[in-house]
Amino acid sequence: MEDNGSHWPLNVAGFEALAQKKLSKDAFDHAAGGADDELTLQENLAAFRRIKITPHVLEDVSERRLETEVLGQRLAFPVILAPVSCLRRFHPEGELAAARAAAGTGVLCALSTGSCYPLEEVARAAPGSVWFQLYAYNDREFTRNLVQRAEAAGYRALCLTVDVPLSGRRERDLRNQYIYPPELLRTSMMNVGFTREQIDQHVNDLLPFVAQALTVRLTWPYLDWLRSITNLPILLKGILSKADARQAVACGVQGIVVSNHGGRQLDCAPASIDVLPEIANAVQGQVEILIDGGVRRGSDVVKALALGAKAVLVGRPYVWALAVEGQRGVERVLTMLRDELDLALALTGCSCVAKIDSSLIWRSS
Ligand SMILES: Cc1cc2nc3c(=O)[nH]c(=O)nc-3n(C[C@H](O)[C@H](O)[C@H](O)COP(=O)(O)O)c2cc1C
């Protein structure tokens, strides 16, 4: 890929097309796909497209400021890399490349529990720019150890994923007989704290073994325990209802991620962007609200902020870029989204992201 930019894709869809050429069919489908009929996956994209923006004109937009703060941390622009497990499936430098790209562009990377690199190594690659996404294990000591390692390594927040009591049924994976590359699965298991003996014992059924180790009994009181073992701010990822958002506030977490897991869990769940306004209204600014699912353009970031989010997370867009060109690819897709957002600000009459509000959302009268 040329550095003068002439050969880079023009947009996220261009990265997706290149990634599809580069990756094996089963690896591409694994990332691209969703649960069951993929209704929610499609709806995430369609819902953003349905929303129209009414620009304000004759505002001075000669200078534009894109920076924002999330949980007290400064972001050069309001985009965060979503946790994606086992990034080494898509590029040998996987999580290291993603975290470095986030740090290099002034944003954050949420590292998945299913990382193929040890969490300490990723934190060293991007000091101060990483959050840790937590999947809760049945064994609380195991979970405590993981959380305390993340805190000691310098992660700035814990993002507890709450929408995976069981994994969604991903039919593309079933059709392709997709398997996690066994070596990478072993590595990621070692990284979270499974012993070599445990892994060897379950060598023929590693994935079911991991699935069994993860708790399906994650309930609200668990949050009291989690808060008691860490000083890190906690976000709940996977909130889709007003009631759950209010309960999150009552439980004393610092943030929520409005998310349907990129359409990979409950098919028929609503698009995240469609439920964002009611959740923002219910929460009344008591916790920070982030959103993911279907963000593909800078104008999507404007829509999300106008409807109540502080920042967005992107998943597949950076997976494609990582597959295409590693760290440079992820940097490119991030700066592309930043530049699209910058232009969208100018064209909507906003000189900074704080000026984005619901008056930008077009409503038919
Ligand atoms: C291949 C893949 C793996 C993922 N792994 C995780 C994970 O380990 N933990 C998690 O909380 N979310 C995971 N997600 C969900 C993302 O964090 C995010 O919610 C979703 O990708 C956002 O939608 P988008 O891809 O349309 O941007 C994964 C998503 C994909 C595509």
Confidence band for 7, pLDDT divided at 50, 70 and 90:
confident
Q: What is the residue with the minimal CA distance to atom 31 of ligand 1?
A: 31
pLDDT at 204: 87
Indicate if the pLDDT at residue 6 is higher than 80.
no
DSSP 8-state symbol, 288: E
Computed from CA positions of residues 111, 117, 121, 126, in that sequence, does the dihedral angle turn out positive or negative? negative
- Altogether, the residues listed in the chain come to a count of 365
Confidence band for 37, pLDDT divided at 50, 70 and 90:
very high
- What is the reported pTM? 0.98
pLDDT at 65: 98
Q: What is the mean predicted confidence (pLDDT) over 306-328?
A: 98
Among 138-142, 202-206, 309-313, 335-339, whose mean pLDDT is lowest?
A: 202-206
Q: pLDDT digit string (tens) for 77-127?
A: 999 999 999 999 999 999 999 999 999 999 999 999 999 999 999 999 999
> CA-CA distances (angstroms) from residue 315 to 76, 83, 322, 360?
18, 7, 11, 25
How far does the centroid of ligand 1 lie from the alpha carbon of residue 84, in Å? 5
Beta carbon of 299 within 6 Å of any ligand 1 atom: no
Q: pLDDT digit string (tens) for 136-154?
A: 999 999 999 999 999 999 9
> How far is 225 from 349, CA to CA, in rounded Å?
46
> How far is 285 from 268, CA to CA, in rounded Å?
28
Beta carbon of 114 within 6 Å of any ligand 1 atom: yes
The mean pLDDT of the chain is 96
Indicate if the pLDDT at residue 4 is higher than 60.
no
Indicate if the pLDDT at residue 3 is higher than 70.
no
- Beta-carbon contacts of 38 under 8 Å, excluding residues fewer than 6 positions away, are 263, 267
Task: Give the other-Cβ count within 10 Å of 193's Cβ.
Answer: 15
How far does the centroid of ligand 1 lie from the alpha carbon of residue 319, in Å? 10
Alpha helix (H) residue ranges in 234-271? 242-250
> Which helix (DSSP H) or strand (DSSP E) does residue 159 occupy?
strand 158-161
Confidence band for 216, pLDDT divided at 50, 70 and 90:
confident
Indicate if the pLDDT at residue 1 is higher than 80.
no
DSSP 8-state symbol, 100: H
Q: What is the mean predicted confidence (pLDDT) over 176-180?
A: 94
Q: What is the mean predicted confidence (pLDDT) over 279-295?
A: 98
Burial bucket for residue 140 (CB in 10 Å: 0-12, 13-18, 19+): middle
> How far is 314 from 101, CA to CA, in rounded Å?
13
Catalytic residue ranges: 261
Beta carbon of 271 within 6 Å of any ligand 1 atom: no
